[in-house]
Amino acid sequence: MSITTRRLPDWMKTPLPSGKHYVALKNLANNQQLNTICVSGNCPNKAECWGASTASFMILGEKCTRNCRFCDVKNMIPDDVDMEEPVRLAETIQTLKIKHCVITSVTRDDLEDGGAAFWALTIRKVKEVNPGITMETLIPDFYANANLIQLVIDAQPEVISHNMETVRRLTPKVRDVARYDRSLKVIEIIAASGIVPKSGIMVGLGETEEEVLATMDDLLKAGCKVLTIGQYLQPTSHHLKIVEFVKPETFIKYREAAIQKGFSMVESSPLVRSSYHAEKHIHA
């Protein structure tokens, strides 16, 4: 049974997006031809975040060169890089008076540098136009190429995140091209730079509690400071099916375990996504 016909438990239900801040952000993003992972990733927190004039912007287009089996972002041949996008993004953030922004991107394996130089350009332009802004960047793996990741590091966002998405055993089933140990290497490179390293996983894909705890241990060993844990939601009938709706009390248990293990900050609940309450994570 797909998620489109399967009944959601009460704890997974959210209000429909509405309000003047939601409408203003939606209209401005559309007018500026900007993409948000809130829409492309079908995030359940749009109502809360957009209502508070916060959003996670997605650069380098809306067509991804990878085809992960959990993600609703389009897998297509990407368009040419839009070199005006950083300016439009910076000005939109200024108009919305955003104090902390989250930026992510599609994966661009078609580009020689995976889009790393464009990432650096975008970060610097946003900071130039918005003095005092803080920023989280949710980056692809860049094949764990330290030189490419360093380009993002040198632009000095406050937090650099790269998601594990799932446990080791399920990685080949859930992710396309990405590798579990490669993602850990990305976290290691970020951690060595002194910038706050962050990662996130989804549950409800058939993982065991022991596997979740082992992933925590692997991330801590790599130097990760911030962890997010949320429920996987099946975007369409063509994506991976949900194995279970993990109960809220299990998320509380995971959070307590992660804090005890040594993470500085943990967001763990059914509706959590990687950018949820991101403004707090700069203090990790």
DSSP 225-251: -EEEEEE----STTSPPPS----HHHH
The domains of the chain are located at 10-283
- Find residue 196's DSSP bridge partners: 159
Instruction: Look at residue 282 in the predicted model and tell me its pLDDT.
Output: 86
Instruction: Look at residue 279 in the predicted model and tell me its pLDDT.
Output: 76
> What pTM value is reported for the model?
0.87
Instruction: Look at residue 26 in the predicted model and tell me its pLDDT.
Output: 64
- The vertex-247 CA angle with 243 and 48, nearest 5°, equals 100
Q: Give me the CATH code for the 10-283 domain, please.
A: 3.20.20.70
CA dist., res. 198 & res. 253, Å (int): 20
Instruction: Look at residue 1 in the predicted model and tell me its pLDDT.
Output: 36
Q: Could you tell me the mean pLDDT of each successive run of 10 residues in the chain, 284 residues long?
A: 57 61 64 61 56 74 93 89 96 87 94 98 97 94 98 97 98 96 98 98 98 98 97 91 96 98 96 78 83
Angle between helices 180-193 and 209-222 (to 10 degrees): 40
Alpha-carbon dihedral angle through residues 147, 93, 66, 239, given to the nearest 10 degrees: 140
Instruction: Look at residue 149 in the predicted model and tell me its pLDDT.
Output: 98
